[in-house]
Structure 1
Amino acid sequence: MAQVGPSDPDDDGRVDEAVVVGGGAAGLCLAHRLTGAGVGVTLVEAPDGPLRPAERTWCFWEAGTGEFEEAVVANWRRLRVRGPDGHVVESDPAPLRYRMVRSGAFERLVHSRLEASPTARVLRATAHEVRDAPDGAQVHCTTPDGRPLALRGRYVFDSRPVRATPPHRTLLLQHFRGWFVRTSAPVFDPEVADLMDFRVPQPRHGLAFGYVLPLAPDRALVEYTEFSRSPLTTPAYESALRHYTTKVLRLGPLTVESAEQGVIPMTDAVFPRRTGPAVFRIGAAGGATRPATGYTFAAVQRQSRAIAAALDRGRAIVPPPYGRRAMAMDAVLLRALDTGRVDGPRFFTDLFRRVPMDRVLRFLDDGSTPWEEFGIGLRTPVGPMLRTALELPFLSRRTTGRSEESPR
């Protein structure tokens, strides 16, 4: 039976096959997958307090019914993109469906499965240091009551955010604030999600769009999102959301029931997936965030399956979440957006207009063929993209927070 909650700090003599640090999407997915493979796992989660993140929303597309279906709170059959001029691209990317998972429901589901396993336990503790040790690695923690705790594992998988972005040529931020709203009248179509709505004022540098996920005819998650170099203040996000809901969507009277806010790095940096003989990084810390979109949840599931399969074969490895072609194409796109060589709203609107939506989504999930990727490339602004591709090999990678400057 799994132990859920604080543990006796006297762990002398216990060596788990795997210690997973962090109870976000990456840590939960990997602990679940390893437990299902019969691996002994200790999952270390931050105790209640400032280190424990607030409720979050994770979205992804999937064909059929997935293994975390019980945590899916909504899904959409049709997806829509709106250009700055109001032009609408709407499609059913069957067999894919767009799905929403809330972090609280996902955590409860995975915890219930871990609790039913004799090979898993969940500990609430603050992890301070992960380091190699003889025959494995150690995680040094503090329990909620202040006692030191040293965990030992043959392997440690660390999902905590990295402190600084690795050297990069381009670094943009996807930053956003979302409102869960309830309207006084039924104004949403629960069958259609708006992935990008560019009918919002565009920033001087980067791009901005609205994002609408209907939960019922009178309820939705409405977000304002920017791809740019610096996040906004909360009042600035609030002002943008008020403009979007009243002037663009014309939702009428509404109530904001809750809000969420976040920042996701979008970069061509290479995130090390191994930091020691027995220490690995997973999730966003291990490069699972798609540079050109910020999506992470589906890649985390792929990464977890691959790690479990490798351990089953007697190998310890965290494979790259995306292939080299995808990373190369994303690096070109990020650079082209950052330099302003391509117009972001027009680029994405034209991409979804010229390429079948299911193909675009498969490409974003690293599931497209080289021939499909070649066709997608031909439907982008070839001149600016080619110029950017030729420039990239000559740019140095830097550790500063800003992208390397270049003329347009």
Structure 2
Amino acid sequence: MQHYHYIFTGSGLSALMTVYEMILSKKFNDKSILILDQNPKKNNDRTWCFWDEKQSFDEIVSKKWDVALFADENFRRDLDLHPNKYKMIRGLDFYNLVFDLISKQKNIRFANEKVIDFEELGNHCVVKTETQNYTCNKIFNSIYNPQIVKNQSKYPLLQQHFIGWFIQSEEKVFIPAKATFMDFSVEQKGNTRFMYVLPTSETEALLEYTLFSKDLLTKSAYENEIQDYIKKLGITNYKIIEKEQGNIPMTCYAFWKHNTKNIVNIGSAGGWTKASTGYTFANTIKKSKALIQFLSKETDFRKFHKKDKFWLYDLLFIDVLFRRNDLGSTVFSALFKKGNPTLIFKFLDEETSFWEDLQVIWKCPKGLFVRALLGRLFS
């Protein structure tokens, strides 16, 4: 069996970002690294967005916005994002960036194989694929097992699920300088539902029908809502350029408890998704950097976890939406109707002081969150 220092089971965002940070750090040039995935990452299968005031990944950012619209059935507000910009990265552009960098490294190999099992055996690990077995010192696992969360009840699981169409219309209806961050004016139907619109020109945009809820819909349910929304925009003639769909787990489940000395769970499998928003890209940048920093000092992956005040905030938010999924629009609208957008995004990036936290939290419906807190304290 071939032996490696590190094996990545899966090559999604978290794995590729971690490998990317390994390469940039130049501290792993003497370590053999294997990335295993049945998906060769040759297609544009997703879009990531994040707010940022730096120049993070600007070489592959396909569009930036200074203003984002928030709306519900009662009001509309343009959010000034300064000093941030809202950025969009196409999945394929990110894959190409990282794989091009990987191709120049003599110590890193990608194998297009499906992982079927892996385990820790004393001081080393074994990874089994459909065609062969490998051994290694450490495993970075990003293969998410939803049953781990579904088989317990302490931490509720919501899902951010969506279908998106990138369309080209004959009518000039979009404002290229303004993204639609959340539009809750769509019928809620007992859930938290909104449209998300990312215009790249007056005639082109990505439209995603998105839910934060327990259960998925049929494919036609998402697409019917997208079609209705397109009609409301005044578009009568258009063509679909690309489609994408996704399902992101939103939970505060303690994924780190499944880490072992030599196996660390990353990405959705490690709880790297921001539980209250489902945002992954910015969180993954932070987590991957922290993991590389950790590896320079520690060898036991059981020590790689952090539970802080933002974990508690997210937990209470998920508790509220899990119990009253019909009130998602109410919660978000209370936050964005009069709140300072810069401060809100700083809070969602987990970079605020406790005093700043209070300024954001105070805008939310207090009764819902007090009941959630009491429920946690006395459960």
Structure 1 residues 177-186 or 250-259, which shifts more? Answer: 250-259
Matched to 2:37, the amino acid is: A
User: Do residues 243 (structure 1) and 232 (structure 2) align?
Assistant: no
Contact kept? 2:38, 2:114, Cα under 8 Å: yes
Q: Distance in 2 between matches of 1:178 and 1:382?
A: 33
Give the number of aligned pairs. 372
Q: Which amino acid aligns with 2:178?
A: V
1:70 aligns with 2:59: yes
Structure that is richer in helix per residue: 2
Alignment of 1:36-51 (within 5 A): 36-37=24-25, 38-39=27-28, 40-48=31-39
Distance, in Å, in 2 between the alignment partners of 1:78 and 1:273 is 40
Give the structure 1 partner of residue 156 of structure 2: 170
1:198 aligned partner, one-letter code: F
TM-score normalised by length of structure 1? 0.85
Q: Does 1:153 align with 2:136?
A: yes
The offset of 1:314, in angstroms, is 4.3
User: Aligned AA for 1:153?
Assistant: C
Secondary structure of residue in 2 paired with 1:164? helix
Tell me, yes or no, if the aligned pair for 1:342 and 1:384 is still in contact at 8 Å: no
SS in 1 for 2:321: helix
> What secondary structure sits across from 2:147 in the alignment?
coil
Aligned to 2:169: 183
| Per-residue deviation, 1:202 | 1.0
Report SS of the residue matched to 1:29: helix
The TM-score normalised by the length of structure 2 is 0.91
| 8 Å Cα contact 2:252-2:311 kept in structure 1 | yes
- Answer whether contact 1:179 1:222 (CA < 8 A) is retained: yes
Q: Is the 8 A contact 1:35 1:41 kept in 2?
A: no
Question: Kindly tell me: are residues 298 and 386 of structure 1, through their superposed partners in 2, closer, same or farther at Cα, counting changes over 3 Å?
Answer: same
Cα shift at 1:225: 1.0
The match for 1:198 among 184, 187, 191 is 184
**Matched position secondary structure for 1:188:** coil
How far is 1:343 from its partner? 2.6
Counting aligned pairs with the same residue, the percent is 27
Deviations 1:333-357 (A, max 9, x none): 2222232288321221220122211
Which aligned pairs between 1:12-161 and structure 2 lie closer than 5 A?
Answer: 14-16=3-5, 18-37=6-25, 38-39=27-28, 40-48=31-39, 55-66=45-56, 68-85=57-74, 87-142=75-130, 147-148=131-132, 150-161=133-144
Contact 1:303/1:319 (CA < 8 Å) preserved in 2? no
Shifted more, 168-177 versus 184-193: the winner is: 168-177
Distance 1:314 1:388, change over 3 A: closer
Output the CA distance in 1 between the equivalents of 2:248 and 2:304.
22
| Superimposed CA distance per residue, residues 356-388 of structure 1 (whole angstroms, 9 cap, x where no aligned partner) | 111111111211111111121211111221122
Q: Given that residues 332 and 388 in structure 1 are in contact (C-alpha distance below 8 angstroms), is that contact kept between their aligned partners in structure 2?
A: yes
Q: Which amino acid aligns with 1:292?
A: S
**Structure 1 gap ranges (5+):** 1-9, 396-408
The equivalent of 2:214 in structure 1 is: 229
Instruction: Give 5+ residue unaligned stretches, structure 2.
Output: none
**How far 1:213 sits from its partner (Å)?**
0.4
CA separation of 1:224 and 1:341: change in aligned 2, threshold 3 A: closer
Kindly indicate whether the alpha-carbon contact (under 8 Å) linking 1:31 and 1:41 is maintained by their aligned counterparts in 2: no
- For 2:183, give the aligned amino acid: D
Q: Cα–Cα, structure 1 residues 172 and 314, in superposed 2: closer, same or farther, change >3 Å?
A: closer
Residue 324 in structure 1 maps to residue 329 in structure 2:
no
Q: In the aligned structure 2, how far is the partner of 1:263 from the partner of 1:311?
A: 30
For 1:353, the equivalent position in structure 2 comes to 337
SS class of match (2:352): coil
Letter in 2 for 1:59: C
For residue 70 of structure 1, give the secondary structure of its aligned residue in structure 2: coil
Distance across 2 between alignment mates of 1:181 and 1:41: 43
- Counterpart in the other structure of 1:284: 268
CA distance in 2, matches of 1:277, 1:268: 22
Summarize deviations over 1:180-204 as a string: whole Å, max 9, x none.
Answer: 0101022211111111001111112
Moved more, 55-64 or 263-272: 263-272
Counterpart residue type for residue 152 of structure 1: T
Q: Secondary structure at the match of 2:255?
A: coil
Report the CA distance shift for 1:341/1:245 in structure 2 as closer, same or farther (over 3 A): closer
Q: In the alignment, what sits opposite 1:218?
A: 203
Alpha-carbon distance in structure 1 between the residues aligned to 2:324 and 2:185: 19
8 Å CA contact retained: 2:162, 2:211: yes
C-alpha separation in 1, matches of 2:341 and 2:366 = 20
